[in-house]
Chains A and B, each alone.
Chain A
Amino acid sequence: MKTETLAVTSPSTTKRRFRIDLKDFGVLGGLLVIVLYLALATDTFLTSQNLVNLLDQAVVIGLIAVGATICIISGVFDLSSSANLAMSAIAGVFFTQVFGVEIGFILALLTGAALGAITGLMIVVTRVHSFIGSLAMSIIYRGLAVVLTAGAIVSPHMEQLDGFRVWTRSVVGGITSGTLLFVLALIIFGLILWATTYGRRIYAVGGNAEAARLSGIRTPLIHVSAFAISGLCAAAAGMVLASRAGSAQPAMATGLELTAIAAVVIGGTSIMGGAGAVWRTAVGVMILTVIANGFNLMGWDTTYQQVVTGALILIAVAADSLLIHRWRRS
C-alpha cells in the first residue's frame, strides 16, 4: 500500500513484499518505545495488575474504535456512536429487567445495530455528509435517552446485579471477560475486513465510491452496514460500561466517539477512506491507553496528557496526508 510509489519506475520490484512499511513501523515502533520506557522507568508498569488494568481501560474506547475503523475505511464518519452507546446500554438495562441478563445483553447489541442502521439510512437517503448526519442523529439519540430514563440513572433489579456484572469478571490470569470481548471484536472484524468479499467492498467504496458503484457494488448498503457495525460495537462497549457501573444513564460516554476516531487515526488508518486495518486501531487504542497509564505511573500532571494526545493525532494525520500527497504526485 505505501511502498508502491517506487514501483512505477523501479525495475527491482521482486522484493517489494518484504520491504518494511514505514507507516507500520512508525505506529508499532511508537507503542514499543513508550512501553519500553515505562517498563524501565517504573517498577509498576510490568506488574500483572497494571497490565490487566491497562487492557481493561482499553476495552470501551477500543470497541467503539473498531466500529469507527469500519466506518472510516468505507468513507463515512459515525459521530453518533457514543450516543448510540448510551441508548443501547439503557435499552439493555430495561431489557435485562424484563428478560434477564443474557437476553438483555443480546437485545442491547441488536438495539445498537438497529440504531446504527437507522443513522446510516438517514445519511444514505438524505445524502447529507455523514459528519453532519451522524452528529444530528447523536443529538437525537442523547435526547431520546433522557426521555426514556427521565434523566435518571437506571439499573437492573438487585438480584440481577451480580449477573449483570459479568464483563468485570476475571477469567484467565486476571484478564477480564470485557477484555476478551474486545479481543474477540478485534479478531472478528479484523478478519472480515481482511479476508471477506464484504471487507473488500468496504475498502473499494471508501477508496472510490463511483468506481465501486460501476463495479456493481451497492454503495448505500455498504454504508448502512458500516453504521450498523459501528452501532453494534458501541452497544457492546455500552454494556461493558454499564456492567462496570451496575447502571446506565443518558450522559454516559459523552465525547468518546472523538477519542475513538483519534485512536483510529493514530493507528494509521487513512482519514480519506479506503485504507487502514483493525490491527492498526488496536495499536492506536493501546498507544492512547498506555500514555494515560504512563502519566499515572510517572506521577506526571495529567493535564499535559491532552497536549500529548493532540500532538499525536496531528503527527498521525500529517504523516497520512504527506504520504498521500507524495503518492499523488508521482
Chain B
Amino acid sequence: MTLSISELTDPMGESPAPSIKLDTVGKSYAGTSVLRGVTLTIAPGEIHGLLGENGAGKSTLLKILGGVIPADTGTVAFDQKHVRIGSPRDSIELGVSLIAQELALVPARSVLENVFLGSWSNIFTIARSSRDRAVLEKLMDDTGFHLDIDAPVSSLPLGKAQQVEILKALARGSKVLCLDEPTAALGEVDTKNLIRLLKQLAASGTTIIIVSHFLEEILGLADRITVLRDGNQIVTDDANGYDADKLVQLMVGRQAAALARTPGAIDPNAEIVLRASNLTNDFIKDISFEIRRGEILGLAGLMGAGRSETLNAVFGSDRVTSGEVEVNGRRVRRNSVSASIKNGLALVPESRKDQGLVLGRTATDNIALPSLDKRQTAGFIHRRREAEVVAKAITDVDIRGRVQLVSVGALSGGNQQKALFAKWLINPPQVFLIDEPTRGVDVAAKVNIHNLILELAEAGAAVVVASSELEEVTSLSHRLLVLQQGRVVAEFDRSASPDEIMSAAFL
C-alpha cells in the first residue's frame, strides 16, 4: 500500500501537527477529583499511550483534549500558545479528533454523510456530495479501508463503523487523533490493520494519543507512555524499557494480583451436561457441540464469525430455525429464554450496558432480577431474604464496597461485569454461556473474572466462553471451537498454538 500521507492527512495543505503541552490539568466531579495535575508534553508525530486501570482518568484526559468535558484546573497549549478547549467544535478547529468508545455516528445515515458530518461541501448550503464522494474514495484508497459509501452506518459491523470514525477524522484534516480503546471491539485482522494505519499516520506527522487495555499492543505501538492511577500521573516516559509486568505494577500500584490460574484436568467420563445439535438460523449454520460437567469450551473466531450468535442461539435469545438444545438429556423448548433459564442455562451477554444491566436501577435490583420468583409470596418480595442472597452473591464475585443500594450505572466497568455474573449465582445454573467476559475491564478485575469462571467450572458447571481476545479463550478453555462464517471449522485442545488457531480462523 502506497500512502500519500501528505494528501491523506492534509488535504487542505495546512501546517504540521502542533506540539501539545498539558500543564497541571485536573478535573473533578461533585467534589471528587478524577484527574489531578497531569503535566506532559506530546511532540508532533508522537504516538502516546495512556495506560491505567478503569477509573484511572485516561478517558477523562482524552475527553478534555476532545472538548467533550472542560478541565477544571490547568492549561493546555498548542505550539506554546494557550488554547481554550470548551467544546468539541473548539477541538476540531485545533485539528484534534476524538474517537471515543461509543462511536459518534448517525446510524440511519450513509457512510458518506457521516464522514463529512457537519462539514459537507456545499454551494450556498446546497450539498455537493459528488465532491465529498471523490475525497472519500481517495481517503479509502489511501487507508486501505473498503466500505460501501452509501450503506447506512447502522448496517455496518462495529469494526467498519470505527473505520468511518477514522475516515471522518482524516477528512477533517485532523493533526491529532485521540483514540479511546479503539481495538476493544475489533477482531484480530481489524486490529492489525488499525495498528498499521496508526503507525503510518504517525510517520507522516500526525500525533496519536491512544488509550488501550492491551498492554502488548501499546508497547508495540507507542513511542512514549503515561501511566495514570486514581487520577494521578504515575509516570511519563519512553516506552522502551517497559514490559507488560512493569506496566501492570505501575497501574495497580502493587505487585499484580497472582495471574489467573489455568484450568485443571476434567474427568473424561463426566456426564454430558449440554448438547447442542445442528443449531441453524440466519447467522449460524449447523452448529453442534457437547460439554461435560466441569468443562470450559472456548469459542474463537473473527468478528462476525458467529460467536455471540452461537451463544444466543443456545440460550434461546436469538431464534433458531432448526436444531435442538439438551441439558442433562432433557430437551429445552426452542427460542424461549425463560425455558432456558428454567432448564439451568445462563447467559452473560456481550454488552453489559445494552444487554446486561438496567443501569438506572440498584445493584440489588439487577442481581435479584433473574431469580425474583424464588423469594416471594403472592408476588410480594421478601426483602430481607433478597438482601441476604444478594449480599452473598456480591461477596462471591468479589465486588467490594457497599454497593447494594448504588445504581449499577455508577459502578466501575469491572464491578458491572462482576454484577452480571452475580445475577446468576443466586440460583446457580448448570450451563454458563459467557460472551466477552472481560471486555473493557481493568487488569485486576480481569484476573478476578477469569478465576471466577474457573471456579464455576470446578463447582460443576459446564461453561462456554466466547471472546474476541484469542489469548483469553485459549488460557481459559479446556477445548476450543473455531468458528468462521457461522460454522464450526476446527476444534483444538489446550495444546494448540495460537498460530494454528489463527490460521484455522482465517482460512
Contacts and interface: CB of A to CB of B under 8 A. Distances in A.
Interface string B41-54: 00000000000000
Interface centre among A17, A201, A216 (most CB of B within 10 A): A216
A200 B372 contact: yes
Interface stretch (B71-79, B363-371, B439-447): B363-371
Interface stretch (A7-15, A26-34, A122-130): A7-15
Interface stretch (B207-215, B349-357, B450-458, B485-493): B349-357
Contacts of B55: 8-9
Contacts of A16: 405-406
B355 A211 contact: yes
Given A17-B405, A214-B337, A216-B337, A9 B29 contact: yes
Contact of B69 (A5, A198, A274, A329): A329
A24 interface: no
Interface stretch (B84-92, B243-251, B376-384): B376-384
Contact of A214 (B356, B368, B402): B356
Nearest to A208: B358
B380 A195 contact: yes
B175 interface: no
A275 interface: yes
B50 to A, nearest CB: 19
A204 interface: yes
B407 interface: yes
Interface in A1-50: 1, 4-10, 13-14, 16-17
A203 interface: yes
Contacts of B407: 1, 4, 7, 327
B34 interface: yes
A211 B358 contact: yes
B127 interface: no
Interface string B311-355: 000010100000000000000000001101100000101000011
Contacts of B261: none
Given A200-B368, A204-B365, A214 B349 contact: yes
A203 B368 CA distance: 13
B410 A8 contact: yes
Interface string A191-204: 01001111011011
A207 B34 CA distance: 28
A330 interface: yes
A13 B401 contact: yes
A9 B361 contact: no
A5 B410 contact: yes
B123 to A, nearest CB: 37
Interface in A207-242: 207-208, 210-218
Chain B interface: which size bin?
35 or more
A17 B405 CA distance: 8
B360 to A, nearest CB: 5
B221 to A, nearest CB: 29
Contacts of B369: 200, 204, 212, 215, 217
Contacts of A213: 317, 337
Nearest to A9: B32
Nearest to B370: A215
Interface string A237-276: 0000000000000000000000000000000001000110
A208 B354 CA distance: 7
Contacts of B411: 8
**Which of B381, B405, B410 has the largest number of chain A CB atoms within 10 A?**
B410
A60 to B, nearest CB: 28
B381 A8 contact: no
Given A200-B369, A213-B317, A214-B337, A275 B405 contact: no
B11 interface: no
A4 B317 contact: no
B423 interface: yes
Most chain B CB neighbours (cut-off 10 Å) among A13, A17, A197? A197
A158 to B, nearest CB: 43
B373 interface: yes
A203 B34 contact: no
A247 B129 CA distance: 63
Nearest to B408: A4
Contacts of A192: 379
Contact of A6 (B32, B69, B337): B32
A242 to B, nearest CB: 32
B412 interface: yes
Contacts of A196: 376, 379-381
Given A9-B32, A198-B379, A208-B359, A216 B410 contact: no
A16 B30 CA distance: 14
B409 interface: yes
A274 B410 contact: no
Contacts of A197: 372-373, 376, 379-381
Given A196-B376, A197-B379, A214-B349, A204 B358 contact: yes
Contacts of B368: 200
A17 B379 CA distance: 26
A330 B410 contact: yes
Contacts of B337: 213-214, 216
A209 to B, nearest CB: 9
Contact of B338 (A5, A17, A218): A218
A5 B372 contact: no
Given A13-B401, A212-B369, A207 B338 contact: no
Q: Which 8 A-B pairs have the closest CB atoms?
A: A207-B358, A9-B32, A4-B407, A197-B372, A216-B341, A196-B379, A208-B358, A215-B370
Interface of B: 29-30, 32, 34, 55, 69, 315, 317, 337-338, 340-341, 347, 349, 354-362, 365-366, 368-370, 372-373, 376, 379-381, 401-403, 405-407, 409-412, 423
Interface of A: 1, 4-10, 13-14, 16-17, 192, 195-198, 200-201, 203-204, 207-208, 210-218, 270, 274-275, 327-330
17 contacts: A1-B360, A8-B32, A8-B55, A13-B402, A14-B402, A195-B380, A198-B379, A208-B355, A208-B357, A211-B356, A211-B358, A213-B317, A214-B315, A214-B349, A216-B337, A270-B360, A327-B410
